[in-house]
């Protein structure tokens, strides 16, 4: 009887479960954090330390490679972009293009474009035409900056086919020079002058008329 | 929160938890904590104290998990740690054990019906003096011998027996009274 009751109590207690509160694990986890460092943390720390060493070496190597590649690429690109410029124009000083006459010098295409007035237009035109043609011939209009008018002078840029990869730039003087003038201003100034002239004429006429009348009156008085 | 399904069996979990894998530790905790809290509850009438004891027990479990040899039941190993922790906690609160005469031991037995619910029995166990309660739990529920109990609680075997006897008598009396009251009500 005694044993039977003991086993009954043991059975019902052993089967019994009490759910702990939700905070219990958090408390235990905190205690574990204090007592035991996390395995994953340790591993991460270990790995990250190693990885850091490798990573730093790789980073440095990558930076060097990148820098070397960049320099190499820049040099290559510079070679490609270098142009052989021949200037034949006798008018170069007139338009202040700063390109020496009758000389064959290496120029960077970009520099030429920059030095040439109306940069954007030229660049756009060049870009569009270079894409389509192996041989390019572009006439770039030049603006005479002193007068601020478009001239018919232009820079002729010819590209030699891809094989040679050079851009040949030559000055071509244009025979028929035409200077564009701001007609509005001109008309206004002419009108102004005309008005002034007319006023002067009127004044002169009035003076003459006055003189005539004056003499007429004098003569009539005299006759009377 | 259900991490248990990821892991296949306890030994894998134990291996992982021993290497301080937090998820494995959590999985083990979630698996065994309800039963271990029930163990603690038998020693502490206050559920919060019981939970504290359980948390400390699990801390010891995870700290000493490397020393666990895969022989025997893992749950049994945890339970021993839990019981020892409960005893330590109760000992720290300076429990008083009362010596009872030997004749009392001879007369004692738990004479109760098997119809009583756990809550009813637990209620009267909670009312027992702490020393009696410990001996009763260790002997009746955990299955320790008086020799082991005497070593665990640093008491004599006679004291262990007398405590058990007293606890049984108290329980029998309380549950009999309860039975009488229930019959009268009916």
Q: How many CB atoms lie within 10 A of CB A98?
A: 9
Residue keyed to tokens 């429990």: B95
Q: Give the closest residue to A161 by CA, choosing from A140, A137, A128, A127.
A: A137
Q: What share of chain A is helix, strand, coil (3-state, %, to 5)?
A: 60, 15, 25
CA-based radius of gyration for chain A = 47
CB contacts of A10 in chain B (<8 Å) are 140-141, 143
Average pLDDT of A81-86? 51
- Which site among A33, A39, A42, A43 would you substitute to test the B interface, given the most B Cβ atoms closer than 10 Å to its Cβ? A39
* Among A18, A27, A35, beta carbon nearest to B37: A18
Q: Tell me, what's the pLDDT at B82? A: 93
Which distant-in-sequence residues (6+ apart) come within 8 Å of A121 by Cβ? A140, A141
The verdict on A25 touching B (C-beta cutoff 8 Å) is yes
Using an 8 Å CB-CB cutoff, list chain A residues near B35: 17
Residues on chain A touching B62 (C-beta within 8 angstroms): 32, 36
User: To the nearest whole number, what is the mean pLDDT of chain B?
Assistant: 81
Task: Note whether B34 contacts A29, CB cutoff 8 Å.
Answer: no
How far is residue A142 from each of residues A77, A154, A213, B55, measured CA to CA in Å? 28, 5, 61, 89
| Distance from the first to the final alpha carbon of chain B | 46
Query: Is the CB of residue A152 less than 8 Å from the CB of residue A145?
Result: no
Summarised one tens digit per residue, pLDDT across range B115-143 is 667 788 888 888 888 888 889 889 988 88
Verdict on whether the full-model pTM lies above 0.80: no
Size of interface A-B (CB pairs under 8 A): 87
pLDDT of residue B4: 45
Distance CA(A115)–CA(B54), nearest Å, equals 85
Residues 6+ apart with CB under 8 A from B106: B165
Classified as helix, coil or strand, A155 is: strand
The predicted model gives B152-161 an average pLDDT of: 89
Of B41, B42, B110, the CB nearest to A6: B110
Express each pLDDT in A158-209 by its tens digit. 555 544 455 555 555 555 556 666 777 888 888 888 888 888 888 888 888 8
DSSP B62-130: HHTGGG--S-S-HHHHHHHHHHHHHHHHHHHTT-------HHHHHH------TT--HHHHHHHHHTS-H
* B121 to A12: CB separation less than 8 angstroms, yes or no: yes
CA distance B30 to B25: 9
Is any Cβ of chain B less than 8 angstroms from the Cβ of A213?
A: no
User: Which is nearest to A165 in space by CA: A74, A87, A84?
Assistant: A84
Q: B35-44 burial, b if ≥16 CB within 10 A, otherwise e? A: bbbbbbbbbb
pLDDT of residue A179: 64
Q: What is the pLDDT of residues B68-121, one digit of tens each?
A: 887 788 889 999 999 999 998 888 876 555 555 554 554 455 555 556 677 888
- With 90 as the cut, is the pLDDT of residue B57 above it? yes
ipTM for the complex shown: 0.76
Q: Give the integer Cα–Cα distance in Å for A135 and B181.
A: 116
Q: What pLDDT is attached to residue A47? A: 41
Q: Would you state the pLDDT for residue B90?
A: 86
- Residue linked to tokens 């008086």: B146
Measured CA to CA, the distance from residue B39 to residue B142 in angstroms comes to 9
State both tokens at B161: 């027996």
């Amino acid at each position: 009887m005694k044993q039977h009751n003991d086993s009954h109590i043991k059975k019902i207690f052993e089967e019994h479960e009490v759910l702990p509160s939700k905070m219990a694990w958090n408390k235990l986890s905190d205690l574990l954090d204090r007592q035991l460092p996390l395995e994953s943390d340790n591993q991460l720390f270990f790995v990250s330390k190693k990885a850091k060493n490798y990573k730093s070496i790789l980073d440095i190597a990558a930076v060097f490679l990148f820098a070397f590649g960049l320099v190499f690429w820049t040099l290559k690109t510079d070679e490609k972009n270098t142009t052989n410029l021949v200037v034949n124009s006798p008018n170069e000083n007139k338009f202040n293009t700063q390109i020496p006459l009758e000389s064959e010098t290496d120029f960077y295409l970009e520099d030429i474009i920059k030095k040439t007035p109306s940069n954007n237009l030229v660049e756009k035109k060049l870009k569009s035409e270079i894409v389509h043609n192996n041989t390019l011939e572009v006439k770039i209009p030049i603006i005479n900056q002193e007068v601020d008018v478009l001239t018919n002078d232009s820079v002729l840029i010819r590209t030699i086919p891809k094989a040679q990869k050079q851009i040949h730039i030559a000055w071509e003087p244009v025979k028929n020079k035409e200077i564009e003038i701001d007609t509005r201003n001109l008309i206004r100034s002419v009108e102004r002058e005309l008005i002034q002239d007319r006023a002067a004429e009127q004044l002169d006429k009035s003076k003459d008329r006055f003189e005539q009348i004056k003499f007429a009156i004098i003569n009539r008085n005299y006759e009377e | 929160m259900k991490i248990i399904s990821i892991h296949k069996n306890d030994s894998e979990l134990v291996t992982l938890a021993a290497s301080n894998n937090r998820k494995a530790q959590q999985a083990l905790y979630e698996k065994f904590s309800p039963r271990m809290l029930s163990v603690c509850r038998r020693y502490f009438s206050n559920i919060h104290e019981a939970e504290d004891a359980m948390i400390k027990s699990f801390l010891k479990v995870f700290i000493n998990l490397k020393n666990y040899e895969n022989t025997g039941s893992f749950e049994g190993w945890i339970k021993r740690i839990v019981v020892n922790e409960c005893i330590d906690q109760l000992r720290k609160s300076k429990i008083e054990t009362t010596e009872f005469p030997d004749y009392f031991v001879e007369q004692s037995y738990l004479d109760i019906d098997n119809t009583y619910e756990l809550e009813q029995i637990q209620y009267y166990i909670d009312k027992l003096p702490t020393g009696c309660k410990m001996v009763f739990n260790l002997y009746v529920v955990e299955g320790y011998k008086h020799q082991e109990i005497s070593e665990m609680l640093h008491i004599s075997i006679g004291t262990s027996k007398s405590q058990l006897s007293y606890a049984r008598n108290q329980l029998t009396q309380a549950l009999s009274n309860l039975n009488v009251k229930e019959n009268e009500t009916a």
